[in-house]
Structure 1
Amino acid sequence: MKKVHSDIVQFRGTHYDFGFMQGELLKQSYILPNRRKQRSATSRQLMINEAEAQQMLTSFAPRVWDEINGLADSLGWKMHDAIREFGGYYMEYTRSGCSIFTQSNFMVRNYDSSPEGYEGRFALYQPTDGGYATIGPTMQITGRTDGLNEKGLVMGYNFINRRNSEDGFICNMIGRLVLENCATIDEAIELLKELPHRRSFSYVLLDRSGKSVVVEASPRSVVMREANVSTNHFELLTEENRYQTDDSKRREQTMQLQGQSLTDAYSAFRLLNDSDQGVFSTKYSTASGTLHTASYFPHSLEVGFAIGPDRLPLMLDFHQWLQGNRLYAKRINGKIDTKLPFVHMAEV
């Protein structure tokens, strides 16, 4: 078992200042040099049209654009490089797994992907220049893999397919935009219909109404269905599915069957996090192993978070943090059974 951690990042202020602060942190991190090596190894062009990306960011995410400017200034980078690294538009993204279970007052989510793409950052951000305060793990620094905002909106996404991609935002930036700009499920659905999508993903949403929906989004269509379980296949846009959906359907059926008898959030957390329940995945070599399990509570604004299997969640009180109280924890520690390197922990 390899010891793994996520660093907790806390900030209150403007988006530009948030970006600048993150740039200072990244100067001491392995993340950026390791990402450069990964790009060189794959020899893939990560962005085709910088002008289009800038236009999309300034149109749909002007405050995130300020954050990227802060990152660029702190790191001494040209904007071309900052957009490519942090813009979340028209970029390659490692495929992933993921399982999500909801009830009226909580969401529990397994984030399944490759350790080599997991940057180990968990951010609490309260902006002073517009947008809702958010809490959740980051991806590509500016994006979010899942999370909760101050209005009690919860979001998590599931990978579906990378075939037939088009120009658009990738999943983690879409997650960030939903959490920072939407107070309710209805607002989030409208935004998801408006945004251009790079890949096919399901976005699972829960708010204080107690309703849970799965938004099936591809570059060609966005539709919604009410559901409390989601894995890695569409139920409505079936033409967008991968050829192999057996494991996705198995995890879905496991959660549906066992979820019928669950009465509390901790039992749901155990269903997804325990290694012997059939939902937690150890397929790290195929970019679909479970890296973290998170639980989000829209009414109390609490978050539970664990890295690796068979662990108690570290409970974080976002409501108290919003009142001005600082979290004293600096890291979330865990263990994962893999030999693959984590991009934030050592030189790869």
Structure 2
Amino acid sequence: MEEIKAAIIQARGSAYEIGKNTAAAYAKNPILQQFSQLASQQTNYEEIKALFSDYAPHLLDELQGLADGLGLSLQDAAVLYSGYNLPRPQALGCSAYVDQFQYVRNYDFSPSLYDHCLSFIAPEEVFGSIGYNLQLIGRHDGVNEKGLAIGLHFVSNSGYQKGLSAWSVLRIALDTCETTQQVINLFKELPHAACYNFSVGDAQGSHAVIEVAPEKLCVRSSRAGLNCVNHFQHGELEAFNRQDMTSSVKRDNFLLNLDKSEMTQEELFDLFSDPASPLFFEDYDQLFGTLHTFAYSFQTWQLITSLSRGNPLEIDIEDWFAGKDLKIDMLYGRIKKEPTPEG
């Protein structure tokens, strides 16, 4: 086993100040070098500026804070970290369940391509949120101060086009939306680069799976709970699925055959985070290992989260948004050590 860590960022104030705080937390993070290799040299800053000016102007201020903190120009920071016009992402997995009471999910990928950061932010300009960072300003998943919870699930690169990454549109949703319907409306307008599912629920009990391809969006909804994995289930979008959906279908079938309606938040969290669970994976060298579990209760406003095999962090999110900072600055977990390449 080897240790895995995630820095906890706590930042309040202007979007610019949050960008500066984020930059400070990433100063020695090796992931910055990997992101510098991902950015497209053909990305036009003016396109990013126009898009963010329409939907998330505060993120331009946050990018300016990042730029100043990392010693970059705003143009370079935007190209690197806006999530716009990136090379096609590699496959990754995620499983989630959402109903009117709670939201729970696992994020599965490789620790070498993981930001290792959990951000608690309270910007002056938009809603505050708590979520795991992806490419600094983006989020894998999160919950905002209005009780909206959302996570992303990669489907495929079919029909890939210039547009925003899923982690950037998820961040914009956390910043600007209060309800599931508002997220649906927003996602109908934003330019999406790749095929993703988004599992989402709100404090009013409305929940959905939003299936998004670059040229089309469909919504799965139900009064009962919904599972969300890594393939489209709406008939109009099935052609966008990957050829091999074995793992995704297997996880979905496991959840379908399990009565989750009476399970508590703690029981659902344990189901997803237990290394013995069919939802927990350790194929880290194949980009498919569970890195964190994220569970939120729409009724109690309690968040439970942990890294793989780590101790859970349990908080009432209302306390943090009311100004009560956490006393810790790091989460710890353990993963199976990846094999060293020969040669």
TM-score over 0.5 for the pair? yes
Give 1:100 shift: 0.2
- Per-residue CA deviation, residues 33-70 of structure 1 (Å, 9 max, x unaligned), is 3544xx2xx8x736533322222122221101110011
- Equivalent residue number for residue 210 of structure 2: 215
Would the aligned equivalents of 1:101 and 1:230 in 2 still touch at CA under 8 Å? yes
Note the C-alpha offset of 1:191. 0.4
Q: Counterpart of 2:178?
A: 183
2:44 to 20, 45, 49: 49
Of 66, 69, 78 in structure 1, the residue corresponding to residue 73 of structure 2 is: 78
Decide which of 163, 172, 175 is 1:168's aligned counterpart.
163
Q: Over residues 69-125 of structure 1, what are the superposed CA-to-partner deviations in whole Å (9 max), with x where a residue is unaligned?
A: 111122221223201221111113332100001232111100011212101110111
Alignment partner, residue 227 of structure 2:
229
In structure 1, the residue matched to 2:29 is 29
Identical pairs, percent: 29
Q: Distance in 1 between matches of 2:64 and 2:243?
A: 40
Secondary structure of the corresponding residue to residue 145 of structure 1: strand
1:319 equivalent in alignment to 2:315: no
What is aligned with 1:125? 121
Other-structure match for 1:108 = 104
| Residues 1:256 and 2:256 are matched in the alignment | yes
Once the two structures are TM-superposed, the CA of residue 31 in structure 1 deviates from its matched residue by 3.0
**Closer, same or farther: CA 56–313 of 1 in aligned 2, 3 Å:** same
Q: What 5-or-longer segments of structure 2 have no aligned partner? A: none
- Higher mean C-alpha displacement, 229-238 vs 284-293: 284-293
Q: Is the 8 A contact 1:99 1:230 kept in 2?
A: yes
Matched, 1:335 2:331: no
* Code of the aligned partner of 2:121: Y
Match among 177, 200, 224 for residue 205 of structure 1: 200
Return the alpha-carbon distance in structure 1 between the equivalents of residues 322 and 18 of structure 2: 19
SS of corresponding position for 2:258: helix
Paired residue total: 334
Q: Is the 8 A contact 2:285 2:338 kept in 1?
A: no
Q: How high is the TM-score relative to the length of structure 1? A: 0.91
Question: Contact 1:147–1:296 (CA<8 Å) still a contact in 2?
Answer: no
When residues 29 and 276 of structure 1 are mapped into structure 2, their CA distance, relative to the original with a 3 A threshold, is: closer
Note if contact 1:96-1:159 (Cα within 8 Å) is conserved in structure 2: yes
1:149 aligns with 2:144: yes
Aligned residue type for 1:144: R
CA–CA separation in structure 1 for the residues paired with 2:280 and 2:13: 37
Give the distance between the partners of 1:98 and 1:159, measured in 2 at CA: 8
Following superposition, the deviation at residue 312 of structure 1 comes to: 4.6
User: Contact 2:283 / 2:289 at 8 angstroms: preserved in 1?
Assistant: yes
State how far apart, in whole Å, the 1-side matches of 2:42 and 2:296 are. Answer: 33
Q: Which runs of 5+ in 1 are unaligned?
A: 342-348
1:269 equivalent to 2:269? Answer yes
Paired position in structure 2 for 1:346 = none
Per the alignment, in what secondary structure is the counterpart of residue 132 of structure 1?
coil
**Aligned in 2, Cα 1:204/1:261: closer, same or farther, shift over 3 Å?**
closer
TM-fit CA distance, 1:340: 7.0
Against the structure 1 CA distance between its residues 261 and 322, is the aligned structure 2 distance closer, same or farther, given a 3 Å change threshold? closer
Matches of 1:6 and 1:47, distance apart in 2: 32
Q: Is the 8 A contact 2:311 2:333 kept in 1?
A: no
Q: Using the alignment, how far apart are the partners of 1:261 and 1:61 within structure 2?
A: 37
Matched residue type, 1:326: D
Contact 1:110 1:293 in 2 (8 A): yes
What amino acid sits opposite 1:147 in the alignment?
Answer: G
Measured in 2, the distance between the counterparts of 1:107 and 1:74 equals 34
Query: How far, CA to CA, are the matches of 2:180 and 2:261 in structure 1?
Result: 26
SS at match of 1:304: strand
TM-score between the two structures when normalised by the length of structure 2: 0.92
Match of 1:95 among 91, 99, 104: 91
The answer to whether the 8 Å contact 2:132/2:140 transfers is yes
Q: 1:286 to 1:63 in 2, by over 3 A?
A: same
8 Å Cα contact 1:303-1:316 kept in structure 2: yes
Counterpart CA distance in 1 for 2:271 and 2:262 is 9
